[in-house]
Amino acid sequence: DGGITQSPKYLFRKEGQNVTLSCEQNLNHDAMYWYRQDPGQGLRLIYYSQIVNDFQKGDIAEGYSVSREKKESFPLTVTSAQKNPTAFYLCASTGRLAGSQNIQYFGAGTRLSVL
Amino acid sequence: SQQGEEDPQALSIQEGENATMNCSYKTSINNLQWYRQNSGRGLVHLILIRSNEREKHSGRLRVTLDTSKKSSSLLITASRAADTASYFCATDARSNDYKLSFGAGTTVTVRA
C-alpha cells in the first residue's frame, strides 16, 4: 500500500518535554510538508523540505524543528519552546515541485495534547 | 499565510440536494485545489483547476474559477451522507514559491 504514515495517532506532552512526530512515505515523493491545524482553522505550514538534507521554515516554525536525512522520512520535533502545542498535526508529500501541480497527499494526522 | 477564505463556514443539507461552497483569495494564483477532510483524518485531494481554466468537472463535483473576482466555487451534486466532511480550498502562487495556502474550510453535513 502506497501512502503516508504518521505516528503516533495520539501524543501527550509534559511540561518542558520535547516530542517527535513521525512521518514516513513510500510514494517516492521529493517534497514533504508539516502543517498544524487548530479547531475551526485551516492548515498552517510549519516546515517543508523539497529535497533530502534541505528544509525551509514555513509560516509558524518557531518552537519546532525537523530533519530530512532520508527521502522517505520527515520527522517533526515539537520543542519545549512551543508554548501552545495542542493541535492536530498533518504531514503531506508531493511528487511535483514548484511550477507544476502541487497536489499533496496527506497522512492521517497526529493529535498532540499537553498533560 | 492563509489566503483562501471559504463561505459559508457551515452548511447543512438533505441527502440528494446540491451543496455549494465558495472560496475567495487575495493574490494572483497558479492553481486552485479543493480538498476534503473527514473528521479527525487527513485531507484528500478532490480537484485542481489551473488559473487559465474557468470550469472543471469530476464525477459529482463541479469547480468554477473566476480570476477577475479572485473566487472559486465547489458544487457537489446529489449529495450523499458520505459527503459529510470539511472542504478546503488551497491556492498556490509563484510569489509564494508554490506552497499551498489553505482557507479555514466549510463544514458540510448531509442529513439522511
Hey, what's the cell of A97?
515541485
Q: What is the pLDDT of residue B5?
A: 84
Cβ <8 Å between B105 and A42: yes
For residue B48, give the nearest of A41, A103, A107 by CB distance.
A103
Contacts of A44 in chain B (CB under 8 A): 2, 102
| Ordered DSSP codes for A29-98 | -SEEEEEEE-TT--EEEEEEEEETTEEEE-TT-TTEEE--SBTTB--EEE-TT-S---EEEEEEEESS-T
The arithmetic mean of pLDDT across residues B51-62, rounded, is 97
- Number of A/B CB contacts below 8 angstroms equals 63
CA A9 from centre of chain: 13
Grid coordinates representing B41 are 483524518
All residues of chain B having their beta carbon less than 8 Å from the beta carbon of residue A110 are: none
Q: Which residues in chain A touch residue B106, judged by CB atoms under 8 angstroms apart?
A: none
**Cis-peptide, bond into residue B8, ω within 30° of zero:** yes
pLDDT of B93 reads 86
pLDDT per position as a tens digit, A52-103: 999 999 999 999 999 999 999 999 999 999 989 999 999 999 986 655 678 9
- Pair B31, A102: CB distance under 8 Å: yes
d(CA A11, CA A75): 14
Enumerate the β-bridge partners of residue B13: B110
3-state secondary structure of B100: coil
On the question of pLDDT at A40 being above 90, the answer is no
Per CB-CB distance under 8 Å, the chain A contacts of B94 are 98-99
- Mean pLDDT for A30-55 is 94
- CB–CB contact B103 A42 (8 Å): yes
Closest to B100 (Cβ–Cβ): which among A40, A104, A109? A104
Q: A5: which residues sit within 8 A by CB, 6+ positions away? A: A22, A23, A24, A25, A107
pLDDT at B3 > cutoff 90:
no
